[in-house]
């Protein structure tokens, strides 16, 4: 299978995996990023039983917004007895491991992702029989582990791991990071009382900038579909060769062969002064795939910005009583208080039932803004949490033509209709943008991150009142300039099917739009995007 074809198939896999990851991830920090893989040796004397890294190389192919990464690492047992070790890969929630292979001497071990209990039994049976065994499991949703037993003295281990990762732009900049630095891990369990599943945090680590003892190499191929701009690698000296305006090959300079003491960072832009679009086609033996990407322009004239409407849905249920509701009030005062006079808006409060400030959205006059803030400010919290009916009601409100509608939800997310909410958002992407703010220190990240994923947005979690202004500003920068509304994709003469998403969200200044699917027959016809 060609790498590009495999990449898009994996893109479809990643698209289906991500809602599951969001549903179960409970990261200890807000910095959700992939960290460097490493070996944790199970030993009473780690100073003698060593399994140091000797070399690392990475081959990266970026197509559109998907990075397909092949990592190859070499380790050697420099101790005097057989070792049992755990290979740990702390990935971001946007990453998905799909293959791993270890070569120990002449033995080749392919990792299989089985059900946890079944895989654990197979591993322990092989270990007890003295055979080299490996087990790849996901200890946490974003931490993959592969157990390896019976690593003999002098054995050299070659690890080959493949994973995909979504590259999401921040402030219009795409950033790919390959982690090389193994940092100290955090756990809220004390070492002596930690369960076996928590032992992965007790790893030896290489501090940023510390002299490495291993060699390092990395190459990156970018096939963006759009012209690549402002390509830079602030972490390492690299050489870039352009095959076309939308294709670049980046190789590590030979002087950086010991550059594994700092994370590799590659940044680039895809934007211009107008809407850019690009189409990637992949031909397979059985099925063909395509990926269409639309990148908003860098600057938008005010005359080109459609009218904007905001519907603020505020959870005032019993679980929001007290501290969470106070955070919501501060957030809403910030968002509503900074609307433009030309904007229109409405407020919908929900608990066991729901109520709206007005049956139609109102102009953002000083009087209406003050009225809305006062309405929210006098809420105290009580009753159930009926999010689904509230969201249906918001979507049914009358909407003006040629207006970009954005629905903003502020909730702690403690509802029991997650999948129904996700389906409703997915089916209405063409009618409204949706952004979710998780409020409080005990947010149900499943629904907050799930709503963001199906809505093609970004989740915002606010745990403290003083975080509200910064999160509100980030949100405003993302949505303040809708470029294209009521987006339609018209396919003519090109036999496309299984196209996702079913509806297309507005093209916003800070959000590219991705359409992907399958195609058959000859490469002819055209795909027109209008709005």
| CA–CA distance, 269 with 203 (Å, rounded to integer) | 36
What's the distance, Cα to Cα, between the start and end of the chain in Å?
Answer: 37
Give tens-digit pLDDT for 189-200.
444 444 444 444
Give pTM, 2 decimals: 0.59
> What's the token pair of residue 290?
């395509």
Locate the domains of the chain by residue range.
3-269, 276-301+484-530, 306-480
**Pick from 349-353, 486-490, 505-509: least confident:** 505-509
As to burial, measured by CB atoms within 10 angstroms (0-12 exposed, 13-18 middle, 19+ buried), residue 294 is: buried
Residue 262 pLDDT more than 90? no
| CA–CA distance, 497 with 515 (Å, rounded to integer) | 12
**Pick from 2-6, 113-117, 182-186, 224-228: least confident:** 2-6
- Class of domain 3-269 as given by CATH: mainly beta
Residue 438 pLDDT more than 90? no
> What's the token pair of residue 222?
């970018």
* DSSP designation for 319: G
> What's the token pair of residue 487?
């987006």
Count of other CB atoms within 10 angstroms of residue 255 = 9
Q: What is the pLDDT of residue 234?
A: 93
Residue 497 pLDDT more than 50? yes
Q: Which residues contact 466 (CB under 8 A, 6 or more apart)?
A: none
Q: What is the pLDDT of residue 123?
A: 58
Dihedral in degrees, nearest 10, Cα atoms 329, 334, 340, 343: -30
* DSSP designation for 201: G
From edge to edge, which strands make up the β-sheet containing 38-42? 38-42, 83-90, 143-151, 134-140
Dihedral in degrees, nearest 10, Cα atoms 436, 440, 445, 450: -10
Instruction: Answer whether 347's CB lies under 8 Å from 357's CB.
Output: yes
* DSSP designation for 198: G
Going 333 to 425 to 20 to 95, the CA torsion angle's sign is negative
Q: Which residues contact 121 (CB under 8 A, 6 or more apart)?
A: none
**C-alpha 171: how far from its chain's center?**
15
Q: What is the pLDDT of residue 509?
A: 62
Averaged pLDDT score across all residues of the chain: 76
> What's the token pair of residue 102?
């270890």
* DSSP designation for 523: S
The alpha-helical segments, DSSP class H, found in 197-349 are: 323-337
* DSSP designation for 13: H
99: enclosing H helix or E strand: strand 95-104
Q: What is the pLDDT of residue 489?
A: 76
Identify the CATH homologous superfamily for domain 306-480: von Willebrand factor, type A domain (3.40.50.410)
Give tens-digit pLDDT for 99-137.
888 898 888 888 765 544 555 566 566 666 666 555 555
* Length of the chain (residues): 531
Residue 467 pLDDT more than 60? yes
């Amino acid at each position: 299978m060609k790498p590009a074809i495999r990449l898009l198939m994996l893109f479809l896999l990643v698209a289906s995996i991500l809602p599951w990851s969001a549903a179960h991830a409970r990261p200890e920090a807000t910095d959700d990023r992939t960290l460097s893989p490493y070996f944790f040796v199970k030993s009473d004397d780690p100073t003698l039983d060593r399994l140091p890294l000797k070399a690392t190389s990475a081959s990266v192919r970026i197509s559109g917004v998907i990075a397909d990464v092949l990592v190859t690492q070499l380790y050697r047992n420099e101790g005097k007895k057989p070792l049992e070790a755990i290979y740990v890969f702390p990935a971001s929630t946007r990453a998905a491991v799909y293959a791993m292979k270890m070569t120990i001497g002449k033995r080749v071990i392919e990792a299989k992702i089985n059900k946890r209990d079944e895989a654990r039994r197979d591993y322990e049976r092989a270990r007890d029989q003295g055979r080299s065994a490996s087990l790849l499991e996901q200890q946490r949703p974003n931490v993959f582990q592969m157990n390896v037993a019976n690593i003999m003295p002098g054995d050299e281990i070659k690890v080959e791991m493949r994973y995909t990762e979504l590259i999401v732009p921040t402030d219009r900049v795409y950033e790919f990071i390959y982690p090389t630095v193994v940092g100290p891990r955090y756990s809220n369990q004390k070492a002596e009382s930690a369960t076996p599943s928590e032992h992965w945090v007790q790893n030896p680590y290489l501090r940023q900038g510390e002299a490495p003892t291993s060699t390092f190499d990395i190459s990156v191929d970018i096939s963006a579909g759009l012209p690549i701009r402002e390509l830079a690698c602030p972490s390492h000296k690299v050489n870039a060769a352009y095959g076309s305006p939308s294709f670049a090959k980046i190789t590590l300079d030979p002087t950086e062969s010991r550059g594994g003491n700092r994370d590799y960072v590659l940044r680039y832009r895809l934007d211009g002064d107008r809407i850019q679009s690009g189409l990637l086609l992949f031909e397979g033996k059985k099925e063909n795939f395509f990926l269409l990407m639309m990148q908003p322009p860098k600057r938008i004239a005010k005359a080109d910005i459609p009218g904007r409407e905001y519907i603020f849905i505020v959870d005032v249920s019993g679980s929001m009583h007290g501290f969470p509701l106070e955070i919501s009030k501060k957030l809403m005062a910030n968002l509503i208080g900074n609307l433009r006079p030309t904007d229109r808006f409405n407020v919908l409060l929900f608990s066991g039932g729901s109520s709206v400030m007005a049956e139609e959205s109102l102009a953002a006059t000083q009087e209406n803004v003050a009225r809305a803030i006062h309405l929210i400010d006098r809420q105290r919290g009580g009753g159930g949490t009926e999010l689904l009916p509230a969201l249906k009601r918001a979507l049914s409100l009358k909407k003006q033509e040629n207006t970009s509608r954005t629905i903003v939800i502020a909730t702690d997310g403690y509802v029991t209709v997650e999948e129904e909410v996700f389906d409703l958002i997915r089916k209405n992407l063409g009618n409204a943008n949706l952004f979710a703010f998780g409020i409080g220190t005990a947010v149900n990240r499943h629904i907050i991150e799930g709503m963001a994923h199906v809505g093609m947005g970004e989740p915002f979690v606010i745990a403290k009142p003083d975080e509200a202004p910064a999160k509100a500003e980030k949100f405003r920068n993302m949505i303040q300039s809708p470029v294209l509304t009521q987006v339609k994709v018209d396919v003519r003469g090109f036999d496309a099917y299984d196209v996702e998403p079913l509806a297309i969200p507005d093209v916003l200044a800070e959000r590219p739009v991705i359409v992907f699917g399958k195609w058959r027959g000859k490469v002819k016809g055209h795909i027109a995007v209008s709005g």
